[in-house]
Structure 1
Amino acid sequence: MREELLHFIWRYRHFHQQGLVTEDGRPLGIAFPGEPNTNQGPDFRDAKLSIGGEALTGAVELHIRSSDWLRHAHDGDEHYRSVILHVVWEHDLAEPPGGIPVLVLQDRVAKPLLSRYQHLMRLQGFVPCERQLSAVGTGVWRQWMQTLATRRLQRRALVIFGWLEHLRQDWEETTWWLMARSLGQPVNAAVFEAVARSLPLRLLRRHRLHAPTLEALLLGQAGLLKEGEGAYREYGFWQTKYGLRPVSQPVSFLRMRPGHSPGLRLTQLAALLADGKGWFSIVRDAVSMEEVLQALSGVKGLGAEMRRGMLINAFIPVLFAYGQTEKALRWMEGLRAERNATVRSWQRLGVVAGDAAGSQALLELKNEYCNARRCLECAIGRALLAA
């Protein structure tokens, strides 16, 4: 037994509830098991119970063993004074700690549920439940995919809020960092972000009408201008005039197709800044995503897939963070699903993304839930365990 499984069993009441009694023999009724508490203190708050015929509202604490209450030093912690029930897997104390009623669940949980959970935790494969996916109804999938797409945007928004705080709420600079990171995908995202951080827009805008200078600044910061090359001799000032130093992390050329070479992507990034466009303003004010795609189409070699990628990885997240949530979700649902190894692996299992919101949801599911085996927090895992 693991504590997260015990939480799942209690929260969704996956135990026999007829004739419930506490260890001291008092009848127990559960009107509401409580809300999970994400802050300091007991595991569940605002539970509504009846114990010995008395209606109670308060907190519920869960442990594998009742002695864990003492082991975790809850007996002297004021945060646990509101606990009205101690739910445990096994009771290993002669007296309930703190005099709090104890409910033991060990003999009230169906063995198949425990077996299914152990099975999920042990299976090796792309995802733990890959052989059981067809057993989950389409309604569960549909709702969970919508939730995952939103959660992915919410996670990205938290990153953006952190950047904004660092940049004193400069949305244009933040969007510049996102654009650079997006064009560095998937191998050089961190390096391209570092290049953008080292070259503020106020510097780049001085040269917005001279594309070669912008290219030299970006290539130089990425360490792609070598002494002795014509580009270095012509634009070598990037290192001396501005007192700049290349970023410490080198770009990667691993398994890189010519059309995705770091040098070409940085040149395209320079072209996006060449006329001084404020990309955040463009995206914020655009009525449709086609307007943004059209604005991106003027950059030589920036194909349709990369333009869609910039929408998904840069512009839509910044819209979501800015508060244009409906617009962000509508644009995501209007884009074709991404093509990458993770999405293709889901497709082989019969799970197909119909649009970019779907492919983003599948990436979130794989990276944030399946890889960490957070099956108890996943709607698919919960449906399979409860079957």
Structure 2
Amino acid sequence: MKEDFLHYLWKFKKFDALNLKTCNQEEITISNVGQYLELAGPDFFNAQITIGNQKWAGNVEIHVKSSDWYVHHHEKDAGYENVILHVVWEHDSEIFRSNNTKIPVLELKNYVSTDILSNYQKLLSPKSWIFCEKQLKEIPNFVLINWQERLFFERLERKSKPILDLLESTNNDWEAVLFCLLAKNFGLNTNGGIFLKIAQSIPFSVIRKECFEEENLEALLFGFAGLLDADKEDRYFKDLKFRFFYLLHKYQMEKGCIESVQFFKHRPDNFPTIRLSQLANLYNKHQNLFSKINDLNSVEAIYEVFSVSVASYWETHYQFDKESPKKKKALTKSFMDLIILNTVIPLQFAFAKSQGKEISEALIAILNDVESEKNSIIDKFSSFGLKAKNAFETQSLLQLKNEYCNKNKCLDCAIGMELLKNN
């Protein structure tokens, strides 16, 4: 038996609430189970309960065993002085407040049906991947649809937090925030953190002024990435290096120590040289990029803005001094989809939130037109019958797996609660 199941039973009154008695045989009538806090302190706040002939208003604490009160040292915590009822699965010890008054106890196991216990045990049966993997096909569509939307916006809330942190650090400059976000996401998992530091090292006012010269943008990005530190005979390398030191002097900037970008284990098209050149090309092609992106409301329009490539030098190179067969190296559709998921949608959501605007339906509409992601989590859900048709559904499934399944929060999950109710 686990406490979270007892919380579920109490919160939704999944027991015989009409015939309750304390362990001292006093009748219990529940007018209000209280507010489930999930914070430090008693589990349910401001409940209203009649015990015997006395009506009480106060808090309810829930444990598997009565003695857990002392195990958790609640007798020493003033925050538990206002507990009016101790709800337990097994009563094994009398509990007293600091003034030596006894706290009434409800032993819940006497009032819970065998059916709901059986459903709970079935739900939490041994798993190979997630607990409900063999029962996913039983979930009604309307339950899944409503839950997916909730999961999607939970994930967006999480993604919006670092965006709002960036906004604060950039003095509320949304263009600078976008530049940092794009840099991070152009760097992917391996170089994302380093690209973010590069973007944060260059005042965005400098990017605004130099965006009309693509080579100057490359010089800044490559220079702060440490890719111009060596000495090479390559003419383009020398030109970028000259521009970089000129720009450092012009804007009185200092090149700090940033760890080296990684080439290892990347496909050549994901080399940091290529991604930084594409980023420079994007900012050379589009001024006031935030305003453009924030107004986009279709996948086709987003693809059009991000239809960028590399400087001509990089069409025949992946690294300095090493020529390769000519290739355009434009952003691929799959890469643009990652930008939509990790930059465009979170940014639009965070901006709308900061303005007090509601754009939920518009964001869902965009992601309904983006292809579903391909990864091991999505493949697993598909093998158990939960097939995602688009990126909106895959984002929801990732939130489900990472924040609910992995943390065994079945009783906070709409799927878990549906199975508990209907098994």
Regarding TM over 0.5, the answer is yes
Is contact 2:95–2:103 with CA below 8 Å preserved after alignment? no
What is the distance in 1 between the residues matched to 2:28 and 2:123? 27
- Tell me: CA distance 1:249–1:3, structure 2 relative to 1, closer, same or farther (3 Å): farther
Q: Does 1:281 align with 2:285?
A: no
> Offset of 1:114 from its aligned partner?
4.7
Query: Cα offset for 1:22?
Result: 0.8
Aligned counterpart, 2:383: 348
RMSD: 2.6
Confirm whether residue 320 of structure 1 aligns to residue 349 of structure 2: yes
- Alpha-carbon distance in 2 for matches of 1:123, 1:358: 23
Equivalent of residue 207 in structure 1, options 202, 210, 213: 210
User: How do residues 174-253 of structure 1 correspond to structure 2 at under 5 angstroms?
Assistant: 174-225=177-228, 227-229=230-232, 230=234, 231-237=236-242, 238=244, 241=249, 242-245=253-256, 247-248=258-259, 250-251=261-262, 253=264
Q: Name 2:302's counterpart in structure 1.
A: 292
Aligned to 2:45: 45
Percent identity, aligned pairs only, is: 33
Match among 136, 140, 160 for residue 137 of structure 1? 140
Task: Kindly indicate whether residue 364 of structure 2 is the aligned counterpart of residue 329 of structure 1.
Answer: yes
Give distance in 1, aligned partners of 2:204 and 2:365: 29
Q: Deviations over 1:48-104 (max 9, x none)?
A: 333224444332111222233234343353433432211112222245544221111
Would you say 1:123 and 2:127 are equivalent positions?
A: yes
Distance apart, 1:320 and its partner CA: 0.8
Amino acid at match of 2:200: R
Deviations along 1:338-359, one digit per CA (max 9) or x if unpaired, are: 3333323322222122322111
2:59 counterpart residue number: 59
Note if 1:309 corresponds to 2:309: no
* C-alpha contact 2:35 2:44 (8 A) present in aligned 1: yes
Uncovered stretches (5+) of structure 2, i.e. residues with no partner: 311-329
Task: Please name the residue that 2:406 is paired with.
Answer: 371
Corresponding residue for residue 260 of structure 1? 270
**Cα distance in 2 for residues equivalent to 1:373 and 1:185:** 29
Please give the alpha-carbon distance, in whole angstroms, between the structure 1 residues aligned to 2:96 and 2:6: 19
In 1, are the aligned partners of 2:166 and 2:177 still within 8 Å (CA)?
Answer: yes
Q: Choose which of 167, 171, 181 in structure 1 pairs with 2:170.
A: 167
CA-to-partner distance for each residue in 1:210-230, whole Å, 9 max, x for gaps? 212222322333344461332
CA-to-partner distance for each residue in 1:147-186, whole Å, 9 max, x for gaps?
Answer: 1011111111222222222222221111111112222234
Deviation for aligned residue 1:367: 1.7
Taking a change above 3 Å as real, the CA distance of residues 357 and 45 of structure 1, as seen in their structure-2 partners, is same
Aligned with 1:75: secondary structure? helix
Structure 1 residue 276: deviation in Å? 5.7
Structure 1 gaps, min length 5? none
In the superposition, relative to structure 1, how do residues 96 and 117 fare at CA in structure 2: closer, same or farther (>3 Å)? farther
Distance 2:387 2:50 in 1: 47
CA distance in 2, matches of 1:104, 1:310: 53
Q: Distance in 2 between matches of 1:366 and 1:94?
A: 40
Q: d(CA) in 1 for partners of 2:69 and 2:186? A: 51
Q: Report the residue type matching 1:315 in the other structure.
A: V
Paired residue type of 2:178: T
Whether contact under 8 Å (2:48, 2:56) holds in the other structure is yes
Pick closer, same or farther for the CA change 1:325–1:305 going to 2, 3 Å.
Answer: farther
Distance 2:155 2:226 in 1: 33
**Partners of 1:205 and 1:276 within 8 A in 2:** no
Indicate if the aligned counterparts of 1:220 and 1:246 stay in contact, CA closer than 8 A: no
CA 96–20 in structure 1, closer or farther in 2 if over 3 Å, else same: farther
Q: Determine whether 1:89 maps to 2:89.
A: yes
Check whether the contact 2:226–2:260 (CA below 8 A) recurs between aligned residues: no
Distance change in 2, residues 1:249/1:40 (3 Å) = farther
Higher mean C-alpha displacement, 369-378 vs 182-191: 182-191
TM-score by length of 2: 0.81
Q: Which residue of 1 aligns with 2:317?
A: none
Instruction: Report the AA paired with residue 228 of structure 1.
Output: D
SS state at 1:343 partner:
helix
Deviations, residues 90-140 of structure 1 (Å, cap 9, x unaligned): 222245544221111234443414523542xx4232x33222211222222
Amino acid at match of 1:280: F
Aligned to 1:272: 282
Distance 2:274 2:179 in 1: 18
Q: Secondary structure at the match of 1:152?
A: helix
Structure 2 Cα separation of the partners of residues 206 and 147 of structure 1: 42
Cα pair 1:42 1:79 within 8 Å, conserved: yes
Change (3 A) 1:224 1:372: farther
Partner Cα distance (2:358, 2:263) in 1 = 35
When structure 1 is superposed on structure 2, of 69-78 and 313-322 the one drifting more is: 69-78
After superposition, give the CA deviation of every residue in 1:300-350 in whole Å (9 maximum; x if it has no partner): 511222223212211111111112541333323343323333323322222
Q: Secondary structure at the match of 2:287?
A: coil
CA contact (8 A) 2:85 2:104 kept: yes
Q: What residue identity is the alignment partner of 1:72?
A: H
8 Å Cα contact 2:89-2:108 kept in structure 1: yes
> Which runs of 4 or more aligned residues in structure 1 lie more than 6 Å from their structure 2 counterparts after TM superposition?
none
> Residues 222 and 246 of structure 1 are in contact (CA less than 8 Å); yes or no, is this contact kept in structure 2?
no
Q: Distance in 1 between matches of 2:358 and 2:293?
A: 13
From the CA coordinates, give the structure whose radius of gyration is larger.
2
* 1:102 corresponding residue in structure 2: 105
- Report deviation, 1:270: 1.1
Distance 2:376 2:195 in 1: 22
Equivalents in 2 of 1:81, 1:334: separation in Å? 55
